Structure 1
Amino acid sequence: MTQSMSRAGNPYDNAPMERFYNTMKTEFIYHYTFETDEDLNQGVYEYVFDWYNHRRPHTFNGGRTPFEARHSN
């Protein structure tokens, strides 16, 4: 087993997830109020698996969605 994290104080492995969480909070979480945990769970599921992966274009992928980028080979 190989450790995937960089040395202490150099959290470069976390950068992609930190960027995703920032985007999710900015585009989704801060715009809605959730009555229950179930509402929040359902909303996050729909954001990630429907909007973020299948409909939201990403500049890193040349304007394609992550789904399109993975399946364009």
Structure 2
Amino acid sequence: MKKAIKANPVKKPIILHTDQGSQFASRRFIAFCEENRIFQSMSRAGNPYDNSPMERYYNTFKSELINQYIFETDEDLNKAVNDYVFDWYNYCRPHSFNGGLTPFEARHKTTR
């Protein structure tokens, strides 16, 4: 979250939808969200349909990256995740939901 906020400062309140994991329900994370104008939204226990956009993202993330490679070190995994999320997924990969635009293009209404 810190890296995402640093790369794209929050100009208006945003919603972060997660599951009910302890990392998202901790006092420290709740305070972090409040300080950064992030409103938390959580799925009901055992109900992935509450969070279908994120479930879809994680399905794509796993099928396009995680399940395709064997990572020898944490450093290799961290670099691959960073490259996928911050470069490929947001700036290069077209999305049918966005009419073929990348998330960056759709958010900023730019075209290739």
The bucket for the TM-score relative to the shorter chain is 0.7 to 0.9
Aligned-partner Cα distance in 1 for 2:83–2:70: 15
Aligned residues: 73
1:60 positional shift? 0.2
Q: How does 1:43-58 map to 2 (within 5 A)?
A: 43-58=80-95
The alignment's TM-score, normalised by the length of structure 2, stands at: 0.56
Give the superposed CA RMSD.
2.3
Residues 44 and 50 in structure 2, CA contact (< 8 A), matched pair in contact too: no
1:25 positional shift? 0.6
AA aligned opposite 2:63: T
- Relative to structure 1, the CA distance from residue 7 to residue 21 in structure 2 (aligned partners, 3 Å threshold; closer, same or farther) is closer
Partner of 1:4, secondary structure, is strand
In structure 2, the gaps of 5 or more residues are 1-33
Larger fraction in strand: 2
1:5 positional shift? 3.2
Corresponding position of 1:31: 68
1:12 positional shift? 3.6
Once the two structures are aligned, what percentage of the paired residues are identical?
73
In structure 1, the gaps of 5 or more residues are none
Partner of 2:53, secondary structure, is helix
Aligned-partner Cα distance in 2 for 1:22–1:69: 21
The alignment's TM-score, normalised by the length of structure 1, stands at: 0.83
